Amino acid sequence: MTQSVVVQVGQCGNQVGCRFWDLALREHAHVNKRGLYDEALSSFFRNVDLRKSDGGDCCVGGRIQHLKARAVLIDMEEGVVNGILQGPLREVFDSTQLLTDVSGSGNNWAVGHLTYGSAYREAIVNKLRKAAEHCDCLQCFFLIHSMGGGTGSGLGTRVLSLLEEEFPDVCRIVTAMYPSAEDDVITSPYNSVLAMRELTEHADCVLPVENQSLVDIVNKISVMSHGAKPGSALRKDSTVTSGQGSLSPTEKPFDAMNNIVANLLLNITSSARFEGSLNMDLNEIAMNLVPFPRLHYLVPSLTPLYTLADVNIPTRRLDQMFSDAFSKDHQLIRADPKRSLYLACALMVRGNVQVSDLRRNIERLRPSLPFVSWNQEGWKTGLCSVPPVGHSHSLLALANNTCVKPTFMELRDRFTKLYRKKAHLHHYLDVDGMEQSIFSESLSSLSALIDEYHQLDATKARLIPDAQRLSIAR
């Protein structure tokens, strides 16, 4: 069984991370009835016996003493991390896992990446190494940060390249929160494009998430729960909708949105943690969904978003779940994958779903989804028998689809609008180590990426004949 370490950077990263740990604990509490520290728990948590003088880890199989998250929390201002340490999750982290500073990054990628990146390089590497040492078999680093700010995007991407240097064999999966057009941080386009280059070069997989999509999804859920028909009350304990254990007693505005992202992480790792008839490990995700090294942006979509309290799930609802996963309302970035080209798609199913249900739905949906010519049947499937809390089954779809191109193009447009006028540029150039060339290089990296997607898109309408086979002398 493998372990994963979560590295949460910046305000957004830490808030999402906090929701993730809460949900992970709840999911395991739901499944693990006997209080034993099993393999599934050990993938994200250490079991520590505080009475031992060296604070040593206990092995798998014993009773749960004290769970510590396999996490590193980094923020350049103290508010969020302090909030976590005072909240219900304080027992799950200890001070050696935290790295904070006081003054923040001022929404400046250069400050985060260069100034703090150099100043804290040693400390960060030490903390990462410590976390890795506690793992028997470290498989993956999950990095969570936003793209628009200074710490998350700047220091977060610095951490990413440190991870590549120090742990080249460990998979790096980044969950990056992209700003919407109406973002209140003016320099978010700069920060995002500068960070994009790092993600393209150093990450194995990126799961882009857009705030606006999360807002839309949350609104849909609240419409469902308030305007519901009588007799169709929503289940309250679902991990997607309920926000218990948040940082403050009242639910903060971003909590519901962060919940969704936290569920995404939970579902991706479900097959690695629990058993099923067709397992899908984390290294298989990168292997199957990344056909070319730079095209590793995977559009996530999660269904169902809520469950009705009605326990009987007819097949129709199961099929509806599959259809929903491909509708544009359920994608976590604003994109319509059905209109663009699929390079590859992974379906991770949890709960009591059999391979015949899976096959039936793939056959049903396949004709309406445009796949690239050399990957006409490009599906990666996984079946995990343990459903998430509050649902009888769920589906996570990860698509490598050219529909990310419009998102990136918009980002590039917003960047160019500012860059042409050299607006706010001096804040960046004043930082030690920052040069104008970094801006232009990041821009061309983004343009090159958009071009690669564009090339593939161009093949969409064309009917590509089969490649000429080798001929054998008879």
The sheet with strand 299-303 has its strands ordered as: 299-303, 393-401, 342-351, 379-384
**Cβ-based nearer residue to another protein, 284 or 324:** 284
Task: State the nearest-atom distance from the C-beta of 466 to another protein, in Å.
Answer: 6
* Packing angle, helices 188-202 and 404-420, rounded to 10: 130
> Residue 50: enclosing H or E segment and its boundaries?
none
| Angstrom distance (rounded) from CA 199 to CA 317 | 37
User: Shortest Cβ distance from residue 314 to another protein (Å)?
Assistant: 13
User: Crossing angle for the helix pair 211-226 and 255-268, nearest 10 degrees?
Assistant: 100
d(Cα 114, Cα 155) in Å, to the nearest integer? Answer: 8
Q: Which two tokens stand for residue 33?
A: 């009835």
DSSP per residue, 199-251:
HHHH-SEEEEEEHHHHHHHHHHHHHHHHSPPTT-PBPTT-TTT--TT-SSSSP
Between 381 and 392, whose beta carbon lies closer to another protein?
381
Looking at beta carbons only, is 180 or 375 nearer to another protein?
375
Angle subtended at Cα 105 by Cα 444 and Cα 407, rounded to the nearest 5 degrees:
35
User: Angle of helix 10-31 relative to helix 255-268, nearest 10 degrees?
Assistant: 60
Nearer to another protein, 6 or 74 (CB): 6
Shortest CB 81 distance to another protein, Å: 31
Least Å from the CB of residue 338 to another protein: 18
Tokens in use for 110? 């250069």
Nearer to another protein by Cβ, of 40 and 199: the residue is 40
Q: What residues form DSSP beta bridges with 209?
A: 177
Distances in Å between the Cα of 146 and the Cα atoms of 8, 168, 191 are 10, 23, 10
Residues forming contacts to another protein in the complex (CB under 8 A) are 1-2, 39, 136-137, 139, 275, 277-279, 281, 283-284, 286-293, 343-344, 346, 354-357, 359, 362-363, 366, 373-381, 383, 466-467, 469-472, 474
**Residue (185 or 362) nearer to another protein, CB:** 362
**First CA to last CA distance, the chain:** 50
Backbone angles phi, psi at 24, to 5 degrees: -65, -45
207 DSSP β-pair partners: 175
- In the bound complex, what is the minimum distance in angstroms from residue 474's beta carbon to another protein? 7
Q: Of 277, 364, 295, which is closest to residue 325 (Cα–Cα)?
A: 364
CB of 133 to another protein, least distance (A): 15
The answer to whether the CB of 145 falls within 8 A of the CB of 8 is: yes
- The smaller minimum CB distance to another protein, of residues 229 and 474, is found at 474
CA–CA distance, 418 with 385 (Å, rounded to integer): 50
Nearest to another protein of 96, 354 (CB atom): 354
Closest approach of Cβ 471 to another protein, in Å?
8
Which CB sits closer to another protein, 226 or 469?
A: 469
Per the CB < 8 A criterion, the answer to whether 200 and 162 are in contact is no
Distance CA 99, CA 115 (A): 15
In which element (H, E) is residue 228 found?
none
Provide, rounded to whole angstroms, the least separation between the CB of residue 392 and another protein.
14
Read off the tokens for 194: 């500068």
Give min distance, CB of 134 to another protein, in A: 14
CB of 383 to another protein, least distance (A): 8
Q: Which two tokens stand for residue 388?
A: 């998430």
Instruction: Closer to another protein by CB, 461 or 467: give it.
Output: 467
* Cβ-Cβ contacts under 8 Å for 14 (sequence gap 6 or more): 8, 73, 75, 80, 81, 84
Closest CB 395 distance from another protein, rounded Å: 16
Complex with another protein: residue 139 or 211, whichever CB lies closer: 139
Phi, psi (rounded to 5 degrees) for 109: -55, -40
How many helices (H) and strands (E) are present in the chain, helices listed first? 17, 12
- Nearest-approach distance from CB 210 to another protein, in angstroms: 26
* Closer of 262 and 285 to another protein (Cβ): 285
Contact 6, 17 (CB under 8 A): yes
